[in-house]
Structure formats: C-alpha cells, structure tokens
Amino acid sequence: MVEPVTGLSAETVRANLERVTAEIAGTGRDPAEVQVLAAVKYVPLEELGVLADAGVRLVGENRAQDLVAKAEAYPGRFTWDFIGHLQSRKVRQILPHVRYVETVASDSVLAQLERHGSADTEVLIEVNIAGEADKSGISPSELPGFIERCPATVVGLMTMPPLAGDPEASRPHFAALRELALGHGLRELSMGTSQDYLVAVQEGATIVRLGTSLYA
C-alpha cells in the first residue's frame, strides 16, 4: 500500500519544479510548451495548500470523489485534470471541476459525456498503446471511430506505457502516440511520469504527470 504524501515543503517542491523546468529546457524543448501536472492521488487534501504556495497550478487526481472534495476545498487555486480510470457514473460529478478528462476510453463514458457535457467539454482519449491486457485504454486501431463518436471536443491523447526500469523502454510507445496524435491533428500529448518524463518530453509530450519527482 502506498503511503500518503505528508510533510510537504513548499521550498522543496518549488526547487523541484525549477529543476524539472531546467531539465525540460535541456532536452531542447521550450518549457513553456510542456505543462507539469502534479499528480495528487496520494497527497491529502490538507497538504494541497503547500503545493499552491510552491507555485503548482496544474494538478491531476485519479479518484472522482477526491477530485471533487479537493477542488471544492481550494476554489480557484488550481486547474484540475482527471487522470485516473473513469467510471461512467462519475462523469457528471467531475465535469464542473476539470479542464480536461484525460482518460476517456469507453463508450459508456462517451454516453455520459453526451448526457452531461457539452461541445465545449475537452477530453483526451486514453490509448493502450502497447496492447496490455490488464490496462485500460482503446487500441490505436479504434481511435478514428472513437473520435468520431465522441460528443466532446477531443484535444489530445494520453497513454501509460508498460512499467519498465529503463526510461528508454518507454520511447517507442511515446513515439507511437505522437504519430497517432499528429495523424489526427490533436495538440495535447499527456505522457510521461516521474520515471520517464524526459523521454516523453523528447518525444513530444505537452503534459507530464509527476508525483515523487516533485515531492521528495
């Protein structure tokens, strides 16, 4: 079981943000083109103020009920994305609070977006780029039809590559997602976590989802 992230230091988080920004620049990318999203699944509600004090503005939550509670506790302090597995019955709860739903991957979620969203609702489609049987996301071959059926505005793609000790192992999966996005004229690429975000940046990520690399 993962322990909650407690005892956060604004100074540490700020320094880590600055380090990440410098590392992104070191890849040759403009840091202004890469959004650093703080993943807060394990950050208790009462610790979020520390992130705000450190300059964190974009955050992502995996659990619908926690996103709603945290967003309501810190109105106007953060921009929220939903980054976890999305149950269709939770769509209505999160839509008033989020900028993007990054994990749209089922027809049942599309039905709820049609019912509770609008043409202005912006989403990323989760693609199971490696075809892992135990991972959510649509297959690359399903993408054209899925985009066509989506009642919301599709702005990008998201993926989680297979877990690997070597960040380079993620590169072909990130490159494949980039090519899919280019082929469909989508601007956002949410890919890369604390273990492999620099490879993701090199392959075109516009959003990287960081946890431990920001907090420790």
* 122-174 residue pLDDT tens: 999 999 999 999 999 999 999 999 999 999 999 999 999 999 999 999 999 99
How do residues 81-117 score in pLDDT, each as one tens digit? 999 999 999 999 999 999 999 999 999 999 999 999 9
Structural domain contains residue 79: yes
Structural domain contains residue 2: no
For residue 119, the model assigns a pLDDT of 78
* Residue 36 and residue 58 in contact, taking contact as beta carbons nearer than 8 Å: yes
Structural domain contains residue 206: yes
For residue 118, the model assigns a pLDDT of 84
Place of tokens 């920004």: 21
Query: Where is 154: in which H helix or E strand?
Result: strand 153-158
Structural domain contains residue 151: yes
Structural domain contains residue 61: yes
Number of domains in the chain: 1
For residue 2, the model assigns a pLDDT of 76
Structural domain contains residue 50: yes
Q: What is the CATH number of the domain that holds 116?
A: 3.20.20.10
Structural domain contains residue 159: yes
Provide the domain limits for residue 66. 10-215
Structural domain contains residue 142: yes
**Helix (H, G, I), strand (E, B), or coil: what is residue 140?**
helix
Burial class of residue 14, CB neighbours in 10 A (0-12, 13-18, 19+): middle
CA–CA gap between residue 160 and residue 186 (Å, rounded) = 18
